[in-house]
Amino acid sequence: MLGFFYEICDTEQPARDENYTDEASATRVRNAVQDWRERLNAKDAAGGLDKAMGVPAKLKNPWGVRFKPRSSASSMSMRQIRGDSVGQLVQLDCLVVSVQQVKPKVQIVTYHCETCGCEVFQSVEADTYTPPKECPSTKCKENKQSGNLHRMVRSCAFTRHEEVKVQELAEHVPAGGIPRTMTVQAEGDLTRMVKPGQSITLTGVFFPQDLPYAMRMRQQSTQKMFIEAHHFQKHKSGYSETVADEARAS
């Protein structure tokens, strides 16, 4: 959903120089694979990859793109989110009700064609995806062959994924009303940041999500709404966080 911003940031990112050092082992592996791809792309197309297929920005870079709210931004209640908020950055005060277990989520799936040796990349935005049945490279099309694709798990891009259920605050619920809830999806370093019972200020993008066919028939709905988290701000800090902040300040 943020592919446009990933591409712009990747374009503006400076190239690595001789002083660049790799600290994490995962970063070293990613850089080694990227250097291998660049060497293959520098050769003739007959000896390696299809040049027309570019490597996605999420697969090349270890960073992510998020939007942080302005200091002057005001929070809204959950009942103020309307249909015109779809696709927009919203900020609301809420209460964390439940937090699910952190699970890996695939972002980019990499396939290797056994016929032409080309690498095929598939971007995954939803919870499910359909693998391609044949190789879409130019070489296989010119030879009129349907190349068999083999998934390369080592070259795929994964991230941490966590689903959080939030509820509107008590002061936002009218007399006699039922508190409303909302599903929040957190990824990367935003996982394991909040716990049930905490009051937070949530900033994220309000998105619709297509439901699988079985859930459509059961819930009589084709989509459900969720918030893609970009920033968490806790209203109260825990004891361990306060001690860590004091130690860092001293």
Q: What is the pLDDT along the chain (250 residues), one digit of tens a residue?
A: 677 787 888 888 877 766 666 555 556 666 666 666 666 666 544 454 444 456 777 777 778 888 888 888 888 888 888 888 888 899 999 999 999 999 999 988 989 888 888 888 888 887 888 888 888 888 888 888 888 888 988 888 899 999 999 999 988 998 888 999 999 999 989 999 999 999 999 999 998 887 777 777 777 777 788 999 999 999 876 555 555 555 555 5
Task: Give the number of other CB atoms < 10 A from CB of residue 220.
Answer: 7
Question: What's the token pair of residue 235?
Answer: 């209203």
pTM of the model: 0.75
Question: What's the token pair of residue 122?
Answer: 């598939």
Degrees, nearest 5: CA angle 233-237-240: 130
Tokens 């009700």 sit on residue: 97
Are 108 and 158 contacting, i.e. CB atoms less than 8 angstroms apart?
A: no
Q: What is the CATH number of domain 78-103+160-236?
A: 2.40.50.140
